[in-house]
């Protein structure tokens, strides 16, 4: 048998080398050593599981929940001890129970979770009043004061109202319902 020409031999060696490298990558990928679609989360979860198998929520762990309301910017913070069904859970297990929350801290002394909500806080959602903005009657969320949030400026000029009404509006005229709000605004519009 005649020996292969050097050019053909080089091509065969090149193809064999490429196949060997490809096989090595395939083996590393299937064994989980290389990340792939969806594998980043599994690798990250595995690392967290290794770290937190020893760290678990205890009965005396301080549990902090922070809720930020995006429409008004207010933040409510609740400090409690964990409920019985949370005691003994790891960080990964807590994250499953509190899906959608961000875990800011997790250790045996303290767990801190935060959540952003596209809504108003209870104070701003459940309270409203009528006040003044730039010379016009305006509707606010919340209670009268610096934390109130303007919802709407009406076309009702304050200059058309009585002096007593203007003073009451400057202090903030609290209304209990949407119906009371509409009746009051209608009365002011008629003046």
Average pLDDT per 10 consecutive residues for the chain, totaling 191 residues: 63 61 58 52 41 79 95 92 93 93 93 94 89 95 89 93 92 91 88 73
What's the angle, vertex CA 140, arms to CA 134 and CA 145, rounded to 5? Answer: 85
DSSP secondary structure letters along 83-117: PGGGTT--HHHHHHHTTT-EEEEESSSEEEEEEEE
Asked whether this chain's domains 55-117 and 127-190 adopt the same fold, the reply is no
- The per-residue pLDDT for 131 is 95
* Residue whose pair of structure tokens reads 């002394």 in the numeric block: 109
Give CA–CA dist 91/113, Å, rounded: 11
127-190, what's its fold?
Answer: Alpha-Beta Plaits (3.30.70)
- The per-residue pLDDT for 188 is 87
Give CA–CA dist 139/160, Å, rounded: 17
pTM for the structure as a whole: 0.57
CATH homologous superfamily of 55-117 equals Bypass-of-forespore C, N-terminal domain (3.10.20.420)
- The per-residue pLDDT for 10 is 67
- The per-residue pLDDT for 164 is 92
The CA distances from residue 43 to 49, 52, 145, in Å, are: 10, 14, 50
- The per-residue pLDDT for 49 is 40
- The per-residue pLDDT for 147 is 85
- The per-residue pLDDT for 116 is 96
- The per-residue pLDDT for 2 is 58
Domain ranges of the chain: 8-34, 55-117, 127-190
117, 81, 119, 78: which is closest to 100 by C-alpha?
A: 117
């Amino acid at each position: 048998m005649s020996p292969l020409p050097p050019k053909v031999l080089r091509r065969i060696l090149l193809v064999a080398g490429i196949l060997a490298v490809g096989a090595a990558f395939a083996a590393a990928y299937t064994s989980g050593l290389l990340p792939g679609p969806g594998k980043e989360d599994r690798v990250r979860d595995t690392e967290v599981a290794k770290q937190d198998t020893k760290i678990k929520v205890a009965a005396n762990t301080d549990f902090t929940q922070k809720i930020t309301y995006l429409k008004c910017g207010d933040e409510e913070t609740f400090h409690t001890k964990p409920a019985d069904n949370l005691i003994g859970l790891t960080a990964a297990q807590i994250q499953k129970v509190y899906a959608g929350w961000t875990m800011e801290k997790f250790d045996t002394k303290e767990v801190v979770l935060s959540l952003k909500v596209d809504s108003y806080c209870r104070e701003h959602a459940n309270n409203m009043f009528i006040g003044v903005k730039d010379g016009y009657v305006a509707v606010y969320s919340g209670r009268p004061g610096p934390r109130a949030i303007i919802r709407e400026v009406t076309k009702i000029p304050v200059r058309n109202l009585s002096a007593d009404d203007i003073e009451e509006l400057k202090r903030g005229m609290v209304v209990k319902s949407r119906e009371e709000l509409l009746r009051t605004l209608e009365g002011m519009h008629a003046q």
